[in-house]
Structure 1
Amino acid sequence: MPSPRTISGNHHPAHGEPVMTQQASISIVIPAYNVQRYIDQCLRSVLGQLERHHELIVVDDGSSDNTLALVFKAQEAWTGNNFHVFSQPNEGIPSARNHCLRVAQGDYVAFLDGDDVMLPGALAAMDHAIAEHRPDVIACDFRMWHPEEPVKTRAVRLGYPVGRLIRDQETILNTFFADRQMYVWSKVFRRDIYAQLPAPVFPIARLFEDVATVPRLLGHCATLVHLAHPTIDFRQLPAPAVVSERWCVDFAAALPLARRYLQSRGVNDSVRRHFDIAAAYFFVGAVKNSYSLPRADGRRVRMMIKQLFIDGLFGDCDTLVTLASRADMTSNDRTLDAVIIRQVESAFSGGVVVNFKRAASRKLKLWRRLRQARRHLDSKHEGHMAL
């Protein structure tokens, strides 16, 4: 339930006063936890471009620092009635994201994490894409942002063609699995697409909940538009990553959750092949990180994630080598695909997975930084492991 200060004098659409105009509305939703160092900059980046047909929603997940007070201060300074604040006990980022979805009223939902920044012109670009195409989902480029070392900042461009309406779900899903950029904040879905999934939309008490969720959402999307410029600065923090047994298992298990759902949707063989190549990347990443665990724990975890990988494929391990070399496969780097398949073979033969190349190594580091930056796990289970 929202806190007693949820509305703070503003009229929420659910209480009878709509925020929508003739334009399609967008809910910008921010789950926040212990981000007092960053939340003001995050909110200013949104409020500087917020129009009447937008709404900003913040759900504080039981922060123990000054985050909620700073959010209320920003809300009180805002002159509009389209900035809403909710709070809940500390239940984790999946729960906070589900809370965001329950209270959002916009036609579209744009997620933003509390330590990231929405780039100037992002909402105007979304408005334009919606007005022109009314897609089921908007795919957004973003920047890997290193505020302390600007020279490292780089743009990440998705593989979709820019600006035109894609009406082919096979292309939507295949490009997504080739990109493997599974952050929910890089996709702006129609709110009724979220309503197609059973509750809770984001799996509770799991890491990498967006990896399990975004493919399922795309399975309901018939149309997509790719924006031409980055919309979010994804803050990269230098904090060291912590790998735990749960980290490895949840990382390996996230895509199989999506696979079962896609199978129930009857996706075609092409999508299944692209899914299996993406699953190989996740499997190798989990195996590689398992070597950070104590020897006995690592060995046990590798047995677990090996079975998760086998059970989670549409095909089987023997076909992966053939898939990576097929000319009809969408790929950003066929050489790297082949390297990953060799890593799978090494893992299955008991070899140590080493010498990750380029994007494979970089992707794992980014996932680990993301979870380290977002939040800690319940101390009863993991101590200081961060989401």
Structure 2
Amino acid sequence: MSTAPAPWLSLLVPVYNVAEWLPACLDSIGSQDLRGVELLLLDDCATDASPALAQDWLQRHPELDARLLRHERNQGLSAARNHLLEAARGDYVWFLDSDDVLTPGAIASLRRTLDRQPVDLVLCDFAYLRAQPKLKHRLRGEQHVRTFAGPSNAPLTDTPGLLTGLLELGYLHSWSKVARRSLWSDDLRFPVGRTFEDMASTPDLAMRARSHIHVPEVWIGYRQRAGSILAGASLNKTDDMMRALHDLPQRLHPYSESEAGVRFAASHFAARSFIGAVRFASRQSDAERMGHYCQAFLAALCMPLDDLMAQYLRRGWWWRALRLRHWLSRSAATPRPG
């Protein structure tokens, strides 16, 4: 039996049909300080050269604690992440999509952060990676996207503040969160067969964290490309997005009842999701779906609709209030009284 110490970090990378981008992802990992880091790749039955590229890369780096796992049949991203979680041995786990990259020094910065304050959950920032970035992308601040609307560089034990800071900005990606593996107990997994799996799991993960810290550094390069899971909209995907809001007030209990900041942030997050979904359904002329999305949104609200509108106006968010009213009207819904 091996007496080697358990890794302090497991880096978990699902792989599926990303041959064009996988080498950059793996090279970005290989450039990090990987002492005490376990790298797990999982081939989800890719039909391109991705598995061969991954195997070749691992053979050229025999010094690493790294393995390539395989599914016998394609099961999707959620199942791949769940499998990787079950195989991980690290004290912390960090998901990385196989078309994205780690920025130079990201793991070393994470290690320094945890050496100073061994919190349960670490939040980082990201940058968009585009083949041809334009001026409008730079003006939007895509070179450094902040994922948390709250204090940075200080360990906190404020769960309501964590939920508020995450939901207000809406960046719930798993790859911008590094969590103690123990938070991912058997009753918390990604929903198999669905997209927007991060929306469905990240709030529950956050509520399990007794401590957290936001590090305002770009640790992830998030690639924008045609053919990615979220690049091509579809009604099935918008169904999944709205399904991820199911029982949101109950899932956020008791904070959804006792904390005004959580109520607003969660309701605002639900509104943004609803507008995105109903706009797409409108372009498909699917009035029935528009109505379903409206009802799902109203059920996901953590505060009366009129109070949400009042909060928008109080903050000077007139355009957001007008957009929400417009799409509620377009979906032919009658808002329930608050």
In the superposition, the TM-score normalised over structure 2's length comes to 0.88
Amino acid in the other structure paired with 2:210: A
Q: Could you tell me which of 176, 180, 191 is aligned with 1:203?
A: 191
Distance 1:233 1:26, change over 3 A: same
After superposing the two structures, state which structure 1 stretch, 140-149 or 124-133, moved more. 140-149
Once the two structures are superposed, residues 308-350 of structure 1 have per-residue CA deviations (whole angstroms, 9 ceiling, x without a partner) of: 1111222332321123345xxxxxxx444x4233222222223
Once the two structures are superposed, residues 154-174 of structure 1 have per-residue CA deviations (whole angstroms, 9 ceiling, x without a partner) of: 210233322111221111111
Say whether 1:157 aligns with 2:146.
yes
Amino acid in the other structure paired with 1:171: G
Say whether 1:220 aligns with 2:208.
yes
After superposing the two structures, state which structure 1 stretch, 81-90 or 141-150, moved more. 141-150
Contact 2:281 2:289 in 1 (8 A): yes
State the distance in 2 between where 1:219 and 1:175 align: 13
Amino acid in the other structure paired with 1:178: E
After superposing the two structures, state which structure 1 stretch, 96-105 or 245-254, moved more. 245-254
In the superposition, the TM-score normalised over structure 1's length comes to 0.78
Q: Could you tell me which of 21, 28, 36 is aligned with 1:53?
A: 36
State the distance in 1 between where 2:5 and 2:199 align: 31
- The 3-state SS of whatever aligns with 1:160 is coil
Once the two structures are superposed, residues 176-215 of structure 1 have per-residue CA deviations (whole angstroms, 9 ceiling, x without a partner) of: 11111111101111111111x615x101111100011111
Amino acid in the other structure paired with 2:306: D
Amino acid in the other structure paired with 1:340: R
How far off its partner does 1:17 sit? 4.5
Amino acid in the other structure paired with 2:24: Q
State the distance in 1 between where 2:257 and 2:110 align: 28
Amino acid in the other structure paired with 2:22: I
Which residue matches 2:241? Answer: 251
State the distance in 2 between where 1:300 and 1:18 align: 58
Which residue matches 1:4? Answer: none
Which residue matches 1:278? Answer: 269
State the distance in 2 between where 1:20 and 1:115 align: 27
Once the two structures are superposed, residues 233-260 of structure 1 have per-residue CA deviations (whole angstroms, 9 ceiling, x without a partner) of: 0011256953322122212221235543
State the distance in 2 between where 1:130 and 1:205 align: 34
Which residue matches 2:312? Answer: 324
Which residue matches 1:136? Answer: 120
State the distance in 2 between where 1:262 and 1:140 align: 22
Say whether 1:339 aligns with 2:319.
yes
State the distance in 1 between where 2:118 and 2:227 align: 40
State the distance in 2 between where 1:17 and 1:202 align: 32
Contact 1:94 1:205 in 2 (8 A): yes
Q: Could you tell me which of 86, 109, 125 is aligned with 2:109?
A: 125
Amino acid in the other structure paired with 2:289: V
State the distance in 1 between where 2:202 and 2:232 align: 25
Identity %: 28
Matches within 5 A, 1:15-26: 16-20=2-6, 25-26=8-9
Which residue matches 1:42? Answer: 25
Q: Could you tell me which of 93, 97, 117 is aligned with 2:81?
A: 97
